[in-house]
């Protein structure tokens, strides 16, 4: 009986460390030109939204639509921000009033009032089967 209990304990400990992972496919629509790159940031917590992304990636821009795939994200809730870095400087350029002058977007096509949307407005759920979302640039 003792070896059986030991096997159960080992099995529980091994599976407890496993985290379900899934792929998040993000389609970005509304690109007007092929200048620069499309920059994507993923946030897993409200406190880190627009401050400390858990993952970032980029692809070369092309007119129309591009697709980015984030592989092996833990199943859970996330918010995504995207911008088209048309001049390739790695930053979302803004005017003197702080308004973006490069195209940008958020998951759920969320929009804030007098500023960016909140994490809650932008949050999406990534299930174990994975998910595909479309973000329209504005």
What's the pLDDT at 18? Answer: 60
The domains located in the chain, with CATH, are 20-136 (2.60.40.10)
Q: Find the angle CA(76)-CA(129)-CA(61) to the nearest 5 degrees.
A: 80
Q: DSSP code of 50?
A: T
pLDDT tens per residue across all 138 residues of the chain: 555 455 454 444 444 446 799 999 999 999 999 999 999 999 999 999 999 999 999 999 999 999 999 999 999 999 999 999 999 999 999 999 999 999 999 999 999 998 999 999 999 999 999 999 999 999
* pTM, to two decimals: 0.86
d(CA 15, CA 23): 21
């Amino acid at each position: 009986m003792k070896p059986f209990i030991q096997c159960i304990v080992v099995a529980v400990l091994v599976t407890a460390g496993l985290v379900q992972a899934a792929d998040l496919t993000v389609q970005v629509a509304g690109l007007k030109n092929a200048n620069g790159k499309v920059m994507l940031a993923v946030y897993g917590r409200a406190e880190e939204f627009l401050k400390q992304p858990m993952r970032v990636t980029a692809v070369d821009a092309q007119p129309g639509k591009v697709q980015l795939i984030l592989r092996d994200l833990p199943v859970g809730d996330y918010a995504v921000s995207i911008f088209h870095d048309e001049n390739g400087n790695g930053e979302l350029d803004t005017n003197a009033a702080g308004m973006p002058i490069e195209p940008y977007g958020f998951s759920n096509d969320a929009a804030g009032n007098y500023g960016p949307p909140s994490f809650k407005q932008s949050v999406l759920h990534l299930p174990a089967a994975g998910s595909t979302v479309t973000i329209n640039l504005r």
